[in-house]
Amino acid sequence: MASAAAPVAPPAVEPLSGVRLIAAAFALALANFVVVLDMTIANVSVPHIAGGLAVSPTQGTWVITSYAVADAIIVPLTGWLAARFGTVRWFIISIIGFGVFSFLCGVSRTLDALVLFRVLQGLSGGPLMPLTQILLLRIFPKEKAGIGLAIWAMTTTTAPILGPILGGQISDNWGWPWIFFINLPVVAICAFGVGSLLPRFETPRIKAPIDMVGMALLVLSVGAFQIMLDTGREHDWFGSAWIVGLAILSAISFAAFVIWELTDANPVVDLRIFRFRGFSFSTLAISLGFGAFFAQVVLTPLWLQQVAGYTATDTGLIVAWIGVFAVLFSPIAAALIGRIDIRISIFAGILWMALMSLLRAGWTADTDYWTLVTPHLLQGMGMPFFFVGLTALALSSVPEKDQTMAAGLMNFLRTLSGAIATAIATTAWDSQSRVARSELVPALNDPAGAMSMLERAGLTLEQARAAIDRLVEVQAATIGVLHIFLASGVVFLIAAAAVWFVPLPKKVAMATGH
């Protein structure tokens, strides 16, 4: 696989210093920040986007999944693209493309156009995370390389925290297109900074071979599968020839992809890396865990706004608490690596996240602000042990020469699992809500009496009926989302169990790959 973090090394170049180093590091950190920010800034804006484009909120989540899938597909190609066009040159191409498609997302007036430009935005932005990490390591002196990695890690961690807050504020006060328009000045600063300060860090251009057949099969399989998930509910799932056709196309292209990648001399995704049991089960754990985590991150804002009556701004201020302890506990998680059996800290972190799923399952439609905040705040304590620990364990389970390709593959599967989990969770929520409604209606206690009381209070018959119907809808949707939280908790438990199938490596250390 063309590694996400291993383009050809440049000739020896003196690192930057002084003001130039600070300016270059700022430009790179800002680029990484804005790309990661766009993964979460749209989450709390989905109801606004759906309303503005006259589509259902479930369809509105395509804005999230389309970006995530495009990002996942392009990351394994970052190494090849950087080798073919040059690391700095491809960074500038990517950041400019990210800006152009951000603008086109903002001016879109149909869902089809918005999803298309989100895909192109994801394809442009995907390489920027590994490229910023690579370039930060190059511009700092070797003895200060840790500072570069710390800057990269800090922006990667803080951006998802600020995303929901900014998304809520912008959607409520400016309108949803501005969640894309705010990228434009950032893109201009990053492109100018990198273009003027980093040309001497350019890498040699090499016509590296690329597995076009493998890439085509990958896009076909992932794309068909994601479309099947996103449109299945509207087409009655496998009662529709369209959905059946997508499922068959995805299955056949995936089987062909696996066979091709295992036999091709230059595979776009080197599946042979799964021969290492430690890497396989670590990747399984992080994919399951991230899928469960991302499903909650997407569903919670939808439920808060559609059912609990929160604004996008207030929703952002609830969801954002998840990052507080995540930032504070990250150094602790990193410090424990190599000091104790890392599987213990990972297992404890995932169990903690499962416990927070159980805590969420105690919510009601009338839950107060701090009861909603508590599981978000506390969940951050387990996240670093899950994310940092599993990444270290997975990469330490393969030989050093294979670590960068393993990192790219793990990132691909993690990102894809988030997109798939989003589609499954939103569909399951709708289904569970309908089941709950069908059970609640026959169990209503004296609905005729309640309607009479509402009519005596001044409501018309239609208004009284609508009020009771709304009450049932709210309770059904709440029951439905609580079932998804419980299911996420079960998935976390499976991920925690998978950790113990990983042999403890002789040495566990953080790799510098993506």
Min mean pLDDT across 127-136, 241-250, 354-363 is at 127-136
CATH class of 272-514: mainly alpha
Amino acid 5: pLDDT:
42
With contact defined as beta carbons under 8 Å apart, do 249 and 193 qualify?
no
CB-based contacts of 9, cutoff 8 Å, min separation 6: 203
What pTM value is reported for the model?
Answer: 0.77
pLDDT digits (tens, 9 = 90+) for 360-379: 988 988 888 999 999 999 99
Q: What whole-number distance in Å separates Cα of residue 82 and Cα of residue 68?
A: 21
Amino acid 385: pLDDT:
85
pLDDT digits (tens, 9 = 90+) for 469-485: 778 888 888 999 999 99
Q: What distances in angstroms separate CA 319 from CA 98, 159, 288, 300, 372, one per listed residue?
A: 26, 13, 21, 8, 9
Amino acid 509: pLDDT:
53
Min mean pLDDT across 31-40, 240-249, 329-338, 454-463 is at 454-463
Structurally, at CATH architecture level, domain 1-210 sits in: Up-down Bundle (1.20)
CA nearest to 452, candidates 462, 464, 440: 464
Q: What distances in angstroms separate CA 103 from CA 93, 139, 178, 183, 287, one per listed residue?
A: 16, 30, 9, 8, 32
- Same CATH topology for 1-210 and 272-514: the answer is yes
CA nearest to 49, candidates 269, 301, 417: 301
Q: Is the pLDDT of residue 281 over 90?
A: yes
**% of the chain beyond a pLDDT of 70:** 88
Report the chain's terminal Cα–Cα distance, integer Å: 14
Mean pLDDT of 289-311: 87
Phi/psi of residue 159, nearest 5 degrees: -60, -45
Amino acid 256: pLDDT:
95
CA nearest to 186, candidates 74, 27, 75, 42: 27
Q: What is the DSSP letter of 340?
A: B
Q: What whole-number distance in Å separates Cα of residue 55 and Cα of residue 133?
A: 38
User: Please, which residues bridge with residue 340 across strands?
Assistant: 337
Mean pLDDT of 106-133: 89
Amino acid 400: pLDDT:
67
Domain ranges of the chain: 1-210, 211-267, 272-514
HEC-encoded secondary structure of 394-438:
HHHCCCHHHHHHHHHHHHHHHHHHHHHHHHHHHHHHHHHHHHHHH
